[in-house]
Structures are given as C-alpha cells and as structure tokens.
C-alpha cells in the first residue's frame, strides 16, 4: 500500500474508509451515480426518426410476404432511367436501418429477370453492388441501356435521377 508523508516526514500507512454493507442505504439520490438506464430518454421525449417511418400506403405488400419479396416489389416499380438507394427502399419498408439487408436481397435477385437490380445504388449514387453481377461492367451496361449515364462507377446527376419509393408510391 502506498505511504503518505506527514508533517514530521515520517511515512504512515494510508487508511481506507470502511466499505458499506449491502444493507446500508444511501443518504440522498443526488449522491448516486446515474445508471445507464436512468440516462435513457423516456418514450415521450423520443423523436420519431425516418428509420422507423411507416411504410408507404400504396405499397403492394402482403402480411406474410418476406422482407426480400417486399424489396423486389419495390424494385420492380423503379422506372427506366431512374435509380434509388438501398436505404430509400429500407425506409419505405419502415425499416430504415436495414439498408444492408436490401443489398442482400439485391444480391439474391439475380435469378429474377423482373427485378432490375442495376437500378439500386448506394446513397452517393455509386455502383457499390457491381461486383455481384456476372461481370464487373454489367451493372453499368444495364444502367446505360436504361438511359442512365455513369462516370467512374457513379451515376451522373444522381440527385435528379433519384427515385424515392416512399414519395413515389405514396401518391
């Protein structure tokens, strides 16, 4: 144990305060350290986020449909010459934090010719899913065939071509 020097320069043993017993009560709540649960906001003070937005009202969706099937139903409605993002599809489905799952669905859609997976890009308009096509250039070629210009693996004028399913399907 470390020793402290006193006024007479003689080292003395440092004493520790006695530990309280489990039955001992704390005097005030102000002296308590906040616990993680006491730091969480109450449900009334939480603000709604786009991650928990309700699904678009005109979405062709069945109760027993899988998440992947719901994604495909949205992607099939993206018009030629337009693109959307993984996150926009997830938000439209009411699960805004599931953009990665939308990516998995797009990767699994290659056996479905009715699903234009090339029209789904990342939030910056980049062709992040291009490696999941049969050739690395196929996604870009399919987009060009749709009338979408691509430069350096990024959609040109992405903000103008962006198709937001939550808005477009809500009409």
Cα–Cα distance for residue pair 110/21, rounded to 1 Å:
65
Cα–Cα distance for residue pair 82/162, rounded to 1 Å:
6
What pLDDT, on the 0 to 100 scale, is given for residue 37?
Answer: 45
User: By the 8 A CB rule, do 127 and 148 touch?
Assistant: no
Return the number of other C-beta atoms located less than 10 Å from residue 24's C-beta.
8
| Cβ neighbours for 73, distance < 8 A, ≥ 6 positions apart | 59, 60, 61, 65
Q: Which is more confidently placed, 63 or 109?
A: 109
The tokens for 26 are 């704390």
% of the chain beyond a pLDDT of 90? 56
Instruction: Report yes or no on 47 lying in a domain.
Output: no
Cα–Cα distance for residue pair 123/110, rounded to 1 Å:
21
List the domain range (segments joined by +) for residue 80.
66-168
In Å, what is the CA distance from 85 to each residue of 5, 34, 36, 77? 68, 41, 35, 13
The tokens for 108 are 């699994």
Instruction: Report yes or no on 127 lying in a domain.
Output: yes
Instruction: Report yes or no on 77 lying in a domain.
Output: yes
Residue 71: pLDDT above 90?
yes
In Å, what is the CA distance from 107 to each residue of 21, 26, 99? 59, 57, 13
Least confident of 18-32, 116-130, 136-150, 157-171: 18-32
At 93 the three-state DSSP class reads coil
CATH code, domain with 97: 1.10.10.10
Instruction: Report yes or no on 157 lying in a domain.
Output: yes
Residue 91: pLDDT above 90?
yes
Q: Residue 65: which pLDDT band, with cuts at 50, 70 and 90? A: confident
Closest CA to 89 of 69, 75, 109: 75
Instruction: Report yes or no on 3 lying in a domain.
Output: no
Q: Residue 7: which pLDDT band, with cuts at 50, 70 and 90? A: low
Least confident of 5-19, 21-35, 88-102: 21-35
- Total domains present in the chain: 1
Return the number of other C-beta atoms located less than 10 Å from residue 73's C-beta.
18
What digits encode the pLDDT tens for the residues 128-166?
999 999 998 999 999 999 999 999 999 999 999 999 999
% of the chain beyond a pLDDT of 70? 62
What pLDDT, on the 0 to 100 scale, is given for residue 96?
Answer: 85
DSSP secondary structure letter of residue 83? B
Instruction: Report yes or no on 110 lying in a domain.
Output: yes
Instruction: Report yes or no on 39 lying in a domain.
Output: no
| Cβ neighbours for 116, distance < 8 A, ≥ 6 positions apart | 75, 76, 78, 142, 146
């Amino acid at each position: 144990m470390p020793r402290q020097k006193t006024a007479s320069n003689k080292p003395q043993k440092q004493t520790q305060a006695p530990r309280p017993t489990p039955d001992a009560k704390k005097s005030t709540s102000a002296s308590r350290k906040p616990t993680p649960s006491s730091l969480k906001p109450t449900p009334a003070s939480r603000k709604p986020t786009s991650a928990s937005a309700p699904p678009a009202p005109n979405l062709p969706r069945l109760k027993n449909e899988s998440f992947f099937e719901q994604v495909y139903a949205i992607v099939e409605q993206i018009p030629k010459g337009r693109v959307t993002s993984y996150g926009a599809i997830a938000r439209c489905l009411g699960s805004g934090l599931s953009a990665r799952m939308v990516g998995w669905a797009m990767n699994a859609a290659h056996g479905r010719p009715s699903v234009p997976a090339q029209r789904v890009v990342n939030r910056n308009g980049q062709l992040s899913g291009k490696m999941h096509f049969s050739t690395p250039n196929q996604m870009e070629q399919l987009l060009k065939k749709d009338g979408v210009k691509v430069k350096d693996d990024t959609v040109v004028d992405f903000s103008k071509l962006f198709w937001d399913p939550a808005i477009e399907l809500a009409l």
